[in-house]
Structure formats: C-alpha cells, structure tokens
Amino acid sequence: MNKKILITGGAGFIGSHVIRLFVNKYKDYKIYNLDALTYAGNLENLKDIEDSPNYTFIKGDITDENFIHSIFEEYEFENVIHLAAESHVDRSIKDPLAFVKTNVLGTMNLLNAFKLCWKDNFEGKRFYHISTDEVYGTLGETGLFTEKTSYDPNSPYSASKASSDHFVRAYGETYNLPYVISNCSNNYGPNQFPEKLIPLFINNIINNKPLPVYGDGNYTRDWLYVIDHAVAIDLIFHQGINTETYNIGGFNEWKNIDLVRLLCQQMDVKLGKEKGSSERLITFVKDRPGHDLRYAIDASKVNKKLGWKPSVTFEEGLSKTIDWYLENNDWLNSVTSGEYQSYYLKQYS
C-alpha cells in the first residue's frame, strides 16, 4: 500500500476523526486533508494534530474540476478516502441541486483526476468511497440491510449518495479503477454539527429550547459511535478487497422517541436538573417529507472478514458525547452563531 493519502471532507464530523486516527497512527504516511470548509467543516476539529509533520491541509472545493486535476498533478495522491459531501437530509429537501453538485459531480471530479493520474498503473492504489446505509431506502418493522440489498433511495441526499456509489462501481468495471465502498449507519459523537438529531437536541436541552421530534417519533435508526466508524474505515482501507462493499452498523437500533428519552435522562443527571425536566421539552412537530421508517445494518461481513465490532455500548457512547458537548461550549457556541440561526428558523419555525 502506498502512503500518500488524500482524505476529502476531513474538517467535517466523521472526516476529522478519520484524519486524527491516521495522522496519529501512521507516522510514515502523508495525509492530505482537502476540504472546502462549508458550514459543516471546521478546522477547530483538528487543532490537536494540525502541526503534525505528516499532515497537510488543502482548502478547496471538489466541484472545481480544474482545481482537483491540478492538485492531483502536484501531489500525485496514491490513495483517496472520500468523505466530502453535503450530508443532511433536511437540507437536501430544501436544496437538492447542491447535493447533486457536491455528492455526484464532486465525486466524478475525484474519480476522473485519480484515473488520469494513475491510468497505466493502478498497482497499490485505492479509491475508498464512504457512503451511507440510506442508499438502501427504508426497511419495514423487520429485516436488515446487507451488502446485497438493492438500492432504493428516497431522499435527495440518499439519491445523490446512491448515484455517486454507482459511478464509483462503474469506474471499477469500465476502467479497472481499484475501489472499495462502505455504507454506514447513523453516526454520533464529538464534533457533529448540531443540525443532526443528537447534537441538535443536546444543544436545545442546554438552552432550554423545545426538542422537535418529527411525526410520532416512531422512526428507527441504527446508531454507531463515530470513533468506531473511523476504526472500521482504517481496517477496510488497509484490508478490504477491491470492488467489494462493506456495511458498517452499530448493532444498535433505537426508535427516535426512546433515544430522545434516554438522552433527556442522561442530560438531567449531568446538568443537575430535576428528573423529567428535559423530557418536558419534547415537542412533536410536522413530519419530514419522505421520512424513511427504519434503517438497520447487518454488519456481519465486516465483523467476520475484518474482525471489527463496536467498542462502546450506546449508553456509554451517548454519555461521552454529551460530556464532550458540555466541555466544548465554545465550539458549540461558535458553530451555532451566524448562518445556523437562519437555518434553524427556516427549518423549525
């Protein structure tokens, strides 16, 4: 395996944990973090490793074709771990085209630049595309998504991710481009932007604001602690087999309303509030259009083939996550000022 790795979206939630893991663990690798620093990207997430000699930050947009080709010419990245994306379903409902641009065209630019750079010699090279379980659509009350489940995306976000997955596969079939793909369930943990369920609700409880549960709250997600996802990405990057897909999940299904109640209970204890006071903030609001009922991953392949399994229980991971947000109030305040306020009003008023 060659060691010059381009990681895209490294200033975001999952990307920052992947960058930290690789920079600290593989001192002889050169890690390049390409990120446009959208509302979701934040270099504060990487403060502790930014001066490491094996780490370089490149500010840039994956939708800029010329720029992407120029950095491949300059640095000759041997491997790509591609996480940069527009990642929030609610935003995709309001502005689907932004998702096509970054998630589909951006991925195409990376594939084309990688192909042009290495067309005569893909030996030891790899394009690792990070995707989501949402490409499989929705499950009913039973069953699990396996690597063989047909794609059936329902939101503009999941349709754009499905499209990018298909292009990665097509480049493998057509041009022998060496790739792996992983499809992961919902992540939670430190540094997640407070537009997603868990950090949004933590922030609202801190500020004594309503907790907007969509519909009846009986929607199910399979939650995974973000550092466990980063560990799975490390294993798949190094040991995964080209052209294969790996599903990653937490073996950890929760109905939204049950998760929110657990979160409220933990928050009451940590904030020294009267038992039940956070739960009183729960407010049932208009449902998300096209809301997928249930996601649940069969992660037995990555478990059996690569020996991966989650390292923390949900109760432990959630507790660590709340502690991180309570200890990093400045981070939370800085990302919820400015643009966030108008986003929040538009989404929840």
Closer by beta carbon to ligand NAD, 37 or else 282: 37
Q: Is 200 in the site for ligand TYD (CB under 6 A)?
A: yes
* Burial classification of residue 80, based on how many CB atoms lie within 10 Å of its CB (0-12 exposed, 13-18 middle, 19 or more buried): buried
Residue number with the smallest Cβ distance to ligand NAD: 12
Residue found by looking up tokens 């979160």 in the block: 263
Q: Which of 229, 149, 153, 150 is nearest to 185 (CA)?
A: 229
Contact 11, 49 (CB under 8 A): no
Contact 75, 4 (CB under 8 A): yes
The binder of ligand TYD chosen from 31, 83, 197, 230 (CB under 6 A): 197
> Which one of ligand TYD, ligand NAD, none interacts with residue 15, CB within 5 to 8 A by kind?
ligand NAD
3-state secondary structure of 129: strand
For 76-128, where are the alpha helices, taking DSSP H only? 89-94, 96-99, 107-118
Q: How far is the CB of 288 from ligand TYD (least distance, A)?
A: 6
Among residues 61, 78, 86, 134, the one annotated as catalytic is 134
Among residues 128, 136, 157, 179, the one annotated as catalytic is 157
Closer by beta carbon to ligand TYD, 159 or else 213: 213
Closer by beta carbon to ligand TYD, 71 or else 257: 257
3-state secondary structure of 34: strand
Q: Is 219 in the site for ligand TYD (CB under 6 A)?
A: yes
**Cα distance between residue 308 and residue 300, in whole Å:** 9
Beta strands in the chain (DSSP E): 4-8, 30-35, 55-59, 79-82, 126-132, 179-184, 186-188, 211-214, 220-225, 245-248, 253-255, 282-285
Q: Is 321 in the site for ligand NAD (CB under 6 A)?
A: no
Tokens, residue 193: 């932007």
Q: Is 221 in the site for ligand TYD (CB under 6 A)?
A: yes
Neighbours of 286 (CB within 10 A): 9
Site pattern 142..181 for ligand NAD (x: CB under 6 A): -------------------x--------------------
| 73 is an active site residue | no
The binder of ligand TYD chosen from 256, 266, 278, 321 (CB under 6 A): 256
Q: Is 196 in the site for ligand TYD (CB under 6 A)?
A: yes
Contacts of 18 (CB under 8 A, 6+ apart): 7, 10, 81, 83, 230, 233, 234
Q: Which of 87, 94, 90 is nearest to 292 (CA)?
A: 90
> Which one of ligand NAD, ligand TYD, none interacts with residue 256, CB within 5 to 8 A by kind?
ligand TYD
Single-letter code of the amino acid located at 263: L
In the window 284-303, what residues touch ligand TYD (CB under 6 A)?
A: 288
In the window 79-138, what residues touch ligand NAD (CB under 6 A)?
A: 83-87, 102, 106, 130, 132
| 222 is an active site residue | no
Q: Which chain residues interact with ligand NAD by CB under 6 A?
A: 9, 11-15, 35-38, 40-41, 61-63, 83-87, 102, 106, 130, 132, 161, 184, 186-187, 193
* Residues annotated catalytic, as ranges: 133-134, 157
Q: Which chain residues interact with ligand TYD by CB under 6 A?
A: 89, 186, 196-197, 200, 212-214, 219, 221, 256, 288
